[in-house]
Amino acid sequence: MSQIISCDLVVIGAGMTGMAASLFAANRGLKTVQVGVTGEIIFASGFLDILGIHPISEKKSRPDPWAAIHALKQDCPDHPYCRLTVVEIQSALDEYLAFTGGCGVPHYWEKTHNIEMMTPQGTLKITGCVPWTMKNAVHALREKPPGLILDILGLKGFSAHQIVDNLKETWPDLHSARIAFPDTAHLGEIYPEYMARSLEARVCREKLAAVIRPHVRNARIVGLPAIFGIHNSPAVQADLEAILGVRLFEIPTLPPSVPGIRLKEMFEEALPKKGVRQFLQERICDVLPEPDNGFLMELAGGNAQGQKIRSRGVLLATGRFFGKGLQADRNRIRESLFDLPVFQPVNRSGWYRMDFLDPRGHSIHQAGLEIDKNFRPLGTSGAPAFSNLFAAGAILAHQDWIRQKCGSGLAIATAYGAVSSFINIGH
Amino acid sequence: MPILTQLHKTQALIIGGGATGTGIARDLALRGVACILAERADINAGASGSNHGLLHSGARYVLNDAMTSVECREENLLLKKLAAHCVEDTGGMFVAIEGDDPSYIAKFPELCAGCGIPVAAIDPETAKALEPELSDRVIAAYLTLDASIDPFKLSLENISHARKLGTTLLCRHRVAGFEMDQGRICRVRLIHTENGAEVLVEADQVINASGAWAAGIAALAGVSIPMVYSKGSLLVTSSRITRRVINRLRPPGDGDILVPGGTVSLLGTTSVQIDAPDQAHPSIAEIDRIVEQASQMIPALESARYIRAYSGVRPLMGSHAEDGGRSQSRGFAVLDHEKDGLKNFVTISGGKLTTYRLMAEKGADLVCHRLGVSSPCMTRTQPLPASPECRWSEPGLTPKLWLKAHDAEDMLLCECEMVPKSAVEGVISAIQAQRIQPDLRAISLRSRIGKGPCQGAFCSLRVSAYLHDRDAAYSDRELTCISDFLRERWKGLRPVLWGGQLMQAELQEALQCGLLNLELKQRN
């Protein structure tokens, strides 16, 4: 049996919240261990939503995310964003974006304004930041130059024709064509990740440019599914643009898509370099509170089966149902690890509305952990369940990240808030 | 552009494209009668597409309904022989568990014998060896001749054969009104439900086979039919639980029957009286009751993953019902409306999927008698042909074909049920042959698309992208189509959202609303 690992903070969860929390903890000099199976993060589209819609029942689209947060604070005083000032939320995003940008996954945003970007179905989505490789699309959607969308033979769920058709009112001078990705005639079905990795080699970029060139004609900008490399996509894009002499942009594909894979691989490479000890094939099978307000945990699965970890604090970033932070049986919703009280509708009939697309959203999304002002989940008495247990991200109650379009922003900002609180309280 | 009214003349107009209507179409076509079948939505859109897929042995009805029992027994044997490609001859087992009524258990073999229904007693150990998922609390068990039948394939085959014999199929046409003259329906006015085009049909005979909607159709002709609507809800498991049809050995009640259907099992039912046949959907309370009841018989059903639920409406003949219609006869009626003053109008309703052929035969006999056609019924002897266009609804078929063909370019559009591009093409051709717009709804009805654990979350998007590519004209309706398809699936998903299926629903909403903004595209 290996020695017990001792640390300041254990971050449980390896989605966007867990990654951001580990980053913030490491940046503040905390000895940090992160545990959780990475998987969900590859479902990320690459869009970083801050707050796009409020109130959701009115489907009100918000050009200014900060004004939207001010309104949210008035209307929904229990929303997790209300535990933070706008300046704190902005600082969290600045710190996060500076880090990802430095690791080869830069974003584009306009800070004071939300931006609009196209989805793989050709609908428009409001968001806060997009991968840098999609920047040209944001501008083109406003300027509407002669444009071309390309799809790829053998890539399913992505039809350039469909995107162009759905965008025709917004961007009339947009056309579509289909290309064959170089050296894939033997493959039949072809996946974005395969193409992205291939394009990291210059020879493949030259071949792709040769395939694209005859379709360009008078187009001044060309959009492709997200395939511009995994590790340094802006450089892959810039080189392709130089070879072709035309501006390019990426459109996300159906998940799991390349922008999600970029995030996953970047975090798994960069966080250990900052001193975060990661156990990403393992899960916590047992957790015991200790007399000094710390915790003793044991790992299961992976190579570190049985490994024990002692920490002063724990940050719960285990997500909702898809992340397995919450579990539901026929009768009620539970928190998976500590069996913490979960705010929830009285019974299953109240979880979901009769209409899937009901504009008011489903009540189950408001379920989750209620927290004090320091991001500590409440116990049955209404006081924090443990003095050094913190929670962040989608597991928190009183938010609907899907409908409010605030998923990544909520993850990053509450991770920032929870880590700050741990430093203030737990030190 | 003005839409021109079409006028059709025919010997028989059949209203309703379920098991009964398509069965009558084939029966009449085999006797050389020219027919038009008008269906409001699509094939099996009503109860024929939302039942248990159970080919009854008759043993279920021996207590209250001996006549239905006998009919089921006879039709069971006939369909196993004549429509073998639509039937999986699983065999059935009736089991009683501790606490079930001992007097019913004692008289069950006698009641079956009275209806000529063969049953074989086995001891609980043997039952458990044959079906390992059975509870340890089984106290009595009988083997029966129950089997599983694919209702979609059955109706698609019937209409396919009828069309080869000259029948015209008009899907997405609703009956807007009847014109009467001297005790006859002289004209039926149909309206296309999508483009509003009018079709007039002059038929010698009009057959109302619209199932739970039969009273509404008859009312348009000024005829009143007493009818009771009994909603039955069912659940689909994500994998097959037992080999045989398992039936609780007690007087019919909720959560009594588990029917294997290819790769899944179907668990049901309930019997809840409702006021109108439209908008029947499964409630959470019903689903909980089914799971609780059935788990007594098969404990694994408590923790099984359910991928969806659905409801059908049993059209029961009569004016009132007790206990939600559970004790109402499952028998059928051929109503000759001559007594109501309409010499060329007949309604066929009630009955079971198992007895659909007999219902069609009786209805067709009356129609032929009135038309002066003397040819006898042939569906009793002539096998139902297997048509290649009807095969795509069969679970497990497309993976087999796909793996065998090993064609790298044949992408899987539905990954849960492994439905490749080539199968979708096959379905589209069949749909176009029936002159229907090949959209998601029509494709999913005729294939396994959307029937797997993801319930259409991903395949709806892939199929719509694919449809778009092959047909430019598709675009305008497409986002609405995806939304409508997802909303329809949702009715069946909502009551089974817990455990694994709830995780799936969260992913679906994150994709379709979080990323694609479908909820914002809806008009309020």
Peptide bond between residue A55 and the one before it cis (omega within 30 degrees of 0): yes
Give the closest residue to B510 by CA, choosing from A28, A151, A319. A319
CB A123 to CB B479 under 8 A? yes
Token digits of residue B64: 């209250």
Q: Torsion over CA of B492, B494, B495 and B501, rounded to 10 degrees?
A: 100
**Which residue has better confidence, A51 or B411?**
A51
Q: Residue B4's pLDDT is what?
A: 66
Find residue A7's DSSP bridge partners. Answer: A311
Distance separating alpha carbons of residues B289 and B268, to the nearest angstrom: 10
pTM of the predicted protein model: 0.90
Find the mean pLDDT for residues A7-12: 98
Give the closest residue to A315 by CA, choosing from A424, A391, A378. A391
Helix (H, G, I), strand (E, B) or coil at B457: coil
Find residue A298's DSSP bridge partners. Answer: A286, A308
**Other beta carbons within 10 Å of A307:** 20
Phi/psi zone of residue A408: left (φ > 0), alpha (ψ -120 to 50 degrees), beta? alpha
Instruction: Tell me which of A97-111, A275-289, B438-452, B502-516 is least confident.
Output: B438-452
**Residue in A121, A125, A188 nearest the CB of B409:** A188
Reported as a pLDDT band with limits 50, 70 and 90, residue B166 is very high
Distance separating alpha carbons of residues A110 and B245, to the nearest angstrom: 62
Find residue A82's DSSP bridge partners. Answer: none
Find the mean pLDDT for residues B320-326: 64
DSSP 8-state class, residue A121 = T
CB A255 to CB B515 under 8 A? yes
Distances (CA, A) of B251 to A324, B95, B327: 42, 12, 9
Reported as a pLDDT band with limits 50, 70 and 90, residue B323 is low
CB A357 to CB B518 under 8 A? yes
Whether residue B350 contacts residue B362, with contact meaning beta carbons closer than 8 Å, is answered with no
Q: What is the sign, positive or negative, of the torsion defined by CA atoms of B157, B162, B163, B168?
A: negative
- The beta strand positions in A92-198, using DSSP E, are 107-109, 115-118, 124-127, 129-131, 147-152, 174-179
Range B184-208 burial, b when 16+ CB lie within 10 A, else e: bbebbbbbbeeeeeebebebbbbbb
Interface predicted TM-score (ipTM) over 0.90: yes
**Residue in A189, A252, A351 nearest the CB of B411:** A189
Beta-carbon contacts of B2 under 8 Å, excluding residues fewer than 6 positions away, are: none
Beta-carbon contacts of B233 under 8 Å, excluding residues fewer than 6 positions away, are: B268, B269, B270, B272, B282, B283, B286, B287, B290, B309, B310, B311, B495
pLDDT for residue B516 is more than 60:
yes
CB A119 to CB B517 under 8 A? yes
**Residue in A159, A321, A348 nearest the CB of B284:** A348
Distances (CA, A) of B253 to A164, B70, B244, B270, B293: 54, 20, 19, 7, 9
**Residue in A45, A187, A329 nearest the CB of B515:** A45
- The beta strand positions in A107-263, using DSSP E, are 107-109, 115-118, 124-127, 129-131, 147-152, 174-179, 221-225, 247-251
The vertex-B122 CA angle with B121 and B128, nearest 5°, equals 145
**Residue in A162, A359, A402 nearest the CB of B468:** A162
Residue of chain B nearest A155, judged by CA positions: B411
Q: Residue B1's pLDDT is what?
A: 43
How far is B477 from chain A, CA to nearest CA, in Å? 11
Residue A80, Cα to own-chain centre: how many angstroms? 17
CB A355 to CB B466 under 8 A? no
CB B499 to CB A401 under 8 A? no
CB A119 to CB B515 under 8 A? yes
Instruction: Tell me which of A387-396, B401-410, B466-475 is least confident.
Output: B466-475
**Which residue has better confidence, B274 or B414?**
B274
Residue B86, Cα to own-chain centre: how many angstroms? 13
Find the mean pLDDT for residues A85-103: 98
- Give contacts of A359 with chain B, Cβ < 8 Å: 519, 522, 524
Q: Residue B5's pLDDT is what?
A: 81
Reported as a pLDDT band with limits 50, 70 and 90, residue A185 is confident
- Give contacts of B490 with chain A, Cβ < 8 Å: 355-356
Q: Residue A145's pLDDT is what?
A: 98
Distances (CA, A) of B54 to A182, A289, B268: 52, 55, 11
Distance separating alpha carbons of residues B60 and B30, to the nearest angstrom: 32
Distance separating alpha carbons of residues B265 and B301, to the nearest angstrom: 10
How far is B18 from chain A, CA to nearest CA, in Å? 27
**Which residue has better confidence, A356 or B441?**
A356
A337-388: per-residue pLDDT in tens?
999 999 999 999 999 999 999 999 999 999 999 999 999 999 999 999 999 9
Distance separating alpha carbons of residues A113 and A116, to the nearest angstrom: 10
Token digits of residue A350: 């109240």
- Give contacts of B522 with chain A, Cβ < 8 Å: 357, 359
Mutate to test the interface with A, among B413, B519, B521 (most CBs of A within 10 A): B519
Helix (H, G, I), strand (E, B) or coil at A61: strand
How far is A357 from chain B, CA to nearest CA, in Å? 5
DSSP 8-state class, residue B383 = P
The bridge status of strand B332-336 relative to strand B306-317 is unpaired
Reported as a pLDDT band with limits 50, 70 and 90, residue B412 is confident
Token digits of residue B429: 């051709």
pLDDT for residue A1 is more than 60:
no
pLDDT for residue A214 is more than 50:
yes
CB B291 to CB A330 under 8 A? yes
Distance separating alpha carbons of residues A129 and B133, to the nearest angstrom: 52
Kindly calculate the radius of gyration of chain A based on its CA atoms and give it in whole angstroms: 22
CB B412 to CB A189 under 8 A? yes
With helix as H, strand as E and coil as C, how does B10-71 read?
Answer: EEEEEECCCHHHHHHHHHHHHCCCCEEEECCCCCCCCHHHCCCCEECCCHHHCCCCHHHHHH
Instruction: Tell me which of A343-347, B110-114, B227-231 is least confident.
Output: B227-231
How far is A354 from chain B, CA to nearest CA, in Å? 7
CB A188 to CB B410 under 8 A? yes
Whether residue B277 contacts residue B212, with contact meaning beta carbons closer than 8 Å, is answered with yes
Q: Residue B322's pLDDT is what?
A: 61
How far is A1 from chain B, CA to nearest CA, in Å? 34
Residue of chain B nearest A157, judged by CA positions: B462
**Residue in B472, B503, B511 nearest the CB of A255:** B511
How far is A405 from chain B, CA to nearest CA, in Å? 6
How far is B173 from chain A, CA to nearest CA, in Å? 26
Distance separating alpha carbons of residues B105 and B88, to the nearest angstrom: 27
Q: Torsion over CA of A11, A17, A20 and A23, rounded to 10 degrees?
A: 0
Q: Residue B327's pLDDT is what?
A: 67
Find the mean pLDDT for residues B107-132: 97
A34-75: per-residue pLDDT in tens?
999 877 788 889 999 999 999 999 999 999 999 999 999 999
Token digits of residue B57: 């042995």
**Residue in B288, B413, B521 nearest the CB of A156:** B413
CB A47 to CB B498 under 8 A? no
How far is B132 from chain A, CA to nearest CA, in Å? 25
**Residue in B478, B498, B509 nearest the CB of A348:** B498
CB B487 to CB A355 under 8 A? yes
Mutate to test the interface with A, among B474, B484, B515 (most CBs of A within 10 A): B515
Find the mean pLDDT for residues B298-304: 95
A vs B: CB pairs below 8 A: 143
pLDDT for residue A207 is more than 90:
yes
B22-72: per-residue pLDDT in tens?
999 999 999 999 999 999 999 998 999 999 999 999 999 999 899 999 999
**Residue in A123, A124, A158 nearest the CB of B465:** A158
Find residue B247's DSSP bridge partners. Answer: B94, B257
The vertex-B447 CA angle with B481 and B288, nearest 5°, equals 80
Q: Residue B258's pLDDT is what?
A: 98
- Give contacts of A252 with chain B, Cβ < 8 Å: 515
Give the closest residue to B86 by CA, choosing from B157, B161, B137. B157
* Whole-number percent of chain B with pLDDT over 90: 69
Phi/psi zone of residue B351: left (φ > 0), alpha (ψ -120 to 50 degrees), beta? left
How far is A393 from chain B, CA to nearest CA, in Å? 15
Amino acid at B233: S
**Residue in B408, B472, B515 nearest the CB of A188:** B408
